[in-house]
Amino acid sequence: MADVSVLDVLLYGEPIGTLTNVGGDRSIFAFNEDYIDNPDRPILGLAFKDEFGALLTEFRAYQKRVMPFFSNLLPEGHLRKYLAENAGVNPEREFHLLWALGHDLPGAVTIKPADGEAWPPVGGESPDAGDTEGDRRENALRFSLAGVQLKFSAVLAPTDGLTIPASGVGGSWVVKLPSREFEGVPENEFSMMTLARLTGIDVPPIDLVDVGSIKNLPEGIDKIGQRAFIIERFDRLSDGSAVHIEDFAQVFDVYAEQKYKTAALRNIAQVLAAETNDADIAEFIRRLVFCVLTGNGDMHMKNWSLIYPDRRNAALAPAYDLVSTIPYIPNDDMGLKISRTRAFTELTNDELEHLAAKAAIPEKLVLDTAREAVARFHQHWQAEKHNLPMTKQVRETIEAHIKKLPIAR
């Protein structure tokens, strides 16, 4: 097998740069001259701009890992291990993992070997006896949406329901499977996302489906739970073309394991103030308030994203991964600081005013949006809490939680 050491990085199907393995398990990224010289180039990510908005073109080499922007395109946790094992790739060697999974990444980035379709080397581990390159290609579930919970991209067939592809491009829906650790997570997420949409938050199409109706799942999934949560990918259009997105770990140029550190929600608001408009700032405040009211302690940097509908200008991407975590982690908090605090019970008008001042966003817009979000939440929570498929534990935990919140009064 050829020792391929260069990966082409494409954006909307056009080459824009290369990731090169420079030896010793070190890699470095470089933009193509054509991309650098194009005044109308599509945006790859905000981390590639300097403080004056000019394109950065000099990058250091990274050992074993790839630079954070590309590392964050890869899945985390259980899904990374699962896909890497099926591909015969060491999950810690990110250059090779991008090689194996790079044709169906979040957003409009694709990555492929510069000299053709050779499958990556085993990456320091021995394949199972008898495994051929074709076996590893077929076994690798080649879609790589970032995340910890086991979730796959799927095709919605007109007659057969959802199908998890064994190979090839994943599809336009994300299937999130039941959790081994916590009961009723798909039902929880469906309930929170439905409630979010009712309260005015931008939510993609969603549904709950029977696990048994999904074809080509890994064996044994039906023994964990009966239903799966599905959400339509907002980075794919109806014709299958890609819309570019980036999460805020990419924006802030940090690795996934730092997603609860190095930034506060006010820093996300600062970026939105600089790159988007008042409508996106209001949407951000609605989601922040909603997460406090429902006890969602998992809104880290990777659960907020930007989207580039026109390829050059950023907007706040639709909501995703809205789950009430307090039924599973009773003493949970916001994960990221709001402005000065992580505590749900410390989201007050004073904290919102502090956030507005630090992020340089209109205080009146922040307070008016928060007040409206609370009112709409109460209206729809009272109307829908017994109709949504969340467990009794989730419903009662949220009920008790709301009573402790100054912002809910």
Query: Which residue, of 70, 102, 118, is where some domain finishes?
Result: 118
Q: Is the pLDDT of residue 268 over 70?
A: yes
* Residue of 235, 247, 280, 298 marked catalytic: 298
* Residue 143 resides in a domain: no
Tens of pLDDT, residue by residue over 335-364, are 899 999 999 999 999 999 999 999 999 999
Confidence bin at 180 (pLDDT 50/70/90): confident
> Do 253 and 326 reside in the same domain of the chain?
yes
* Residue-range definition of the domain harbouring residue 182: 151-232
* Residue 349 resides in a domain: yes
What lies within 8 Å, CB to CB, of 267 at 6+ separation is 252, 359
* Residue 129 resides in a domain: no
Tens of pLDDT, residue by residue over 294-317, are 999 999 999 999 999 999 999 999
* Residue 47 resides in a domain: yes
> Do 351 and 374 reside in the same domain of the chain?
yes
Query: Which residue, of 118, 139, 168, is where some domain finishes?
Result: 118
* Residue 123 resides in a domain: no
Q: Is the pLDDT of residue 126 over 60?
A: no
Q: Do 162 and 173 contact (CB within 8 A), yes or no?
A: yes
> Do 321 and 359 reside in the same domain of the chain?
yes
Reported in sequence order, the residue ranges of 280-378 that DSSP labels E, i.e. its strands, are 305-308, 315-316
Tell me which residue of 144, 148, 101, 108 sits closest to 245, measured CA to CA. Answer: 108
**What one-letter code names the amino acid at 33?**
E
Structural domain count, the chain: 3
Residue 298 falls in the annotated catalytic set: yes
Name the token pair of 307.
């989207």
* Residue 145 resides in a domain: no
Residue 132: per-residue pLDDT: 54
Measured CA to CA, the distance from residue 101 to residue 202 in angstroms comes to 29
> Do 164 and 196 reside in the same domain of the chain?
yes
Dihedral sign for Cα atoms in the order 214, 216, 222, 225: negative
Of 126 and 157, which is predicted with more confidence?
A: 157
Residue 228: beta bridge partners?
Answer: 209
pTM across the whole model: 0.91
> Do 223 and 250 reside in the same domain of the chain?
no
For residue 318, the domain's CATH number is 1.10.1070
* Residue 313 resides in a domain: yes
> Do 254 and 226 reside in the same domain of the chain?
no
Query: Which residue, of 232, 266, 299, is where some domain finishes?
Result: 232
